[in-house]
Amino acid sequence: MKTTPASFLSVVRSTLESASLIALLAKGHAIVLERIACGAGATRWYFCRDAHALEAIAGELSPGSVVSFYFDERIRKVALSPSVRSEIERTSARDGDSVVGVLEDEIHIRVDFPGGPRDLDEFASRVSPGAAVFTGAFPARDNDGIGAVTITLPDADGIVRAHPH
């Protein structure tokens, strides 16, 4: 776990509070996608089940990241089964890849992007049969305030800047 300067963490908390995430989390969990600023496409994924998890995730976020909270099940938590595998393969064929991940601890999701059956077999070989997985198409930066909330975090100096993500 990386350490975050207290002043930046305070700004992150304030930003998250202004997005009304606590009220949305009271209705259900969120899958969180952090797009790292200047990260050449690097992402981090989190499972946010409640306000306590939100606090832990806040301490993980990086300056300048674009962070999306998905409440609408576009990335679903399901048991890995033959029908789910078929769904993942259809998504991969349609979109070129799909997102599939497993919970590593209370908040971190380890994701993979299988491009076909072989990639999916490799992923599945690392998880127990019937294990809970997170899956869906790679989500957009939606922000309707209900099903999805996307925020841009300020840089460490407190200024929000446009970065390549």
Q: What is the pLDDT of residues 81-130, one digit of tens each?
A: 989 999 999 998 888 879 999 999 999 999 999 888 888 889 999 998 88
Residues 67 and 145 in one domain: yes
Domain membership flag for residue 160: no
Residues 68 and 145 in one domain: yes
Between CA 108 and CA 67 the distance in angstroms is 14
Residues 39 and 21 in one domain: yes
Residues 125 and 44 in one domain: no
CA distance to 53, 62, 76, 92, 126, per residue, from 133 (Å): 18, 25, 8, 16, 12
- Give how many domains the chain has, as a whole number: 2
Q: What are phi and psi of 6, to 5 degrees?
A: -55, -40
Q: Tokens 């048991």 label which residue? A: 79
Domain membership flag for residue 1: no
Domain membership flag for residue 165: no
Domain that holds residue 147: 6-72+140-152
Put simply, whether the predicted model's pTM sits higher than 0.85 gets the answer: yes
